[in-house]
Every structure is written in C-alpha cells, then in structure tokens.
C-alpha cells in the first residue's frame, strides 16, 4: 500500500493525516510506504509520460507495486490540490513508445482530505470519478474529510481519529478482497 502526501507545505494538516494513515495501516499489519510529492520534484506534465525522468520512474514503480493508494490532499478553492492532479497525470500516463503502462489501473484508492471548513466535503468527486472511469479504480466510499473543527491542539480529535481508522480498515478489507480478482484493465471506454 502506498500513502501519498501531496502537500508541499511542511507540517500541513494533510501531511499529518498522511502520517496518521501510515501509522494506522502499519499497526494493522499492512506493508505500507509513505511518499511525499515534495521530495520528488515532478517536472511539468507535457501530455505524455516523461519516461526518462527519475521522479516519474520512481513514482510509477511505487504505484505499480502497490495494491492500493491513500491520496492525502489539502482542499483549496473547493477542489483537491493541483499537486495531486499533477501526480495522477504523470503516473497515469503511458509513454508513446509503450515501454510502460499507466500505473493507476485497478488500484483501490482512498482519499484523505484536509480543509478549513466543512463545506468542501465533495471536493474529491471529480478526481474520484476520473480515476474510476479512466483507470477502473475502486474508490473507498469511506473518505476522510477533516476540517479545522476536527483538530484539537494540533492533533485529531478522538471522533475524527476514529473516522480515519474506519476508512483505513475499509481500505485494508477492499485491497485484501480484490487481490484475487482475475481481470486486468487497460485503456477502454
């Protein structure tokens, strides 16, 4: 399993949520890795995978190896972060030479969002729909959406932490159940 922190702000709430997801998944016995996009310096996406980019190759291989992805993102302007979309564009693309296939196909995906106000809880909708339709991803219906009211002295409230744990429990169950699926998706409409 791969937890992807998309915030570029040091110590941001979405980064804290990503770290907490990692901790909960590890405590449950999952093999999990945390990746922070700020450590990878993805180049601007030019409409085709940059198969020569170390950042692309590293992230692509990590996503391919993962049974599922936990995507931690801040919510800005009623939407998920541009860094998350940038990540999806890169690892989801297939180079023209066909040397690699988009890495997102058939992944189980959980969204973990940090926002200021409770009003943007549907911000993940367009991205979730894109992942489902383009890459045949299975979206965990137990999204994590935490706003400023869910934090107490820099930490999640007990109730908020319980919601996060529930989401990660569902994530683990979905990835376990879907390991035995017989299909492999590719680009199709």
Which candidate, 65, 78, 63, 182, places its Cα nearest to that of 131? 63
Q: What is the per-residue pLDDT for 51?
A: 66
CA dist 146 and 14 (Å) reads 9
Write out pLDDT tens, residues 109-121: 999 999 998 888 8
Q: What is the mean pLDDT of the chain?
A: 91
131 vs 44, more confident: 131
Instruction: State whether residue 25 is helix, strand or coil.
Output: helix
For residue 169, name the pLDDT band (cuts at 50, 70, 90): very high
Which two three-digit tokens encode residue 33?
């890795």
CA dist 157 and 152 (Å) reads 6
What average pLDDT does range 2-26 have in this prediction?
Answer: 95
CATH class of the structural domain 2-178: alpha beta
pLDDT at 31 over 80: yes
Task: Tell me the domain boundaries of the chain.
Answer: 2-178
For residue 176, name the pLDDT band (cuts at 50, 70, 90): very high
């Amino acid at each position: 399993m791969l937890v992807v922190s998309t915030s570029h702000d040091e110590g941001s709430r979405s980064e804290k949520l990503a770290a907490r997801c990692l901790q909960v998944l590890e405590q449950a016995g999952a093999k999990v890795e945390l990746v922070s996009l700020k450590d990878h310096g993805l180049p601007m996406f030019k409409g085709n995978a940059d198969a020569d980019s170390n950042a692309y190759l590293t992230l692509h291989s990590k996503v391919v190896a993962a049974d599922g992805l936990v995507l931690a993102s801040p919510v800005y302007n009623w939407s998920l972060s541009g860094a998350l979309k940038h990540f999806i564009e890169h690892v989801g693309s297939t180079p023209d030479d066909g040397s690699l296939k988009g890495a997102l196909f058939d992944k189980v995906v959980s969204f973990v969002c940090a926002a200021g106000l409770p009003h943007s809880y549907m911000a993940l909708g367009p991205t979730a729909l894109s992942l489902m339709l383009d890459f045949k991803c299975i979206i965990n219906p137990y999204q994590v959406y935490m706003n400023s009211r869910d934090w107490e002295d820099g930490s999640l409230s007990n109730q908020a932490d319980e919601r996060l744990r529930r989401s990660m429990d569902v994530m683990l169950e979905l990835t376990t159940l879907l390991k035995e699926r017989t299909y492999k998706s590719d680009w199709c409409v």
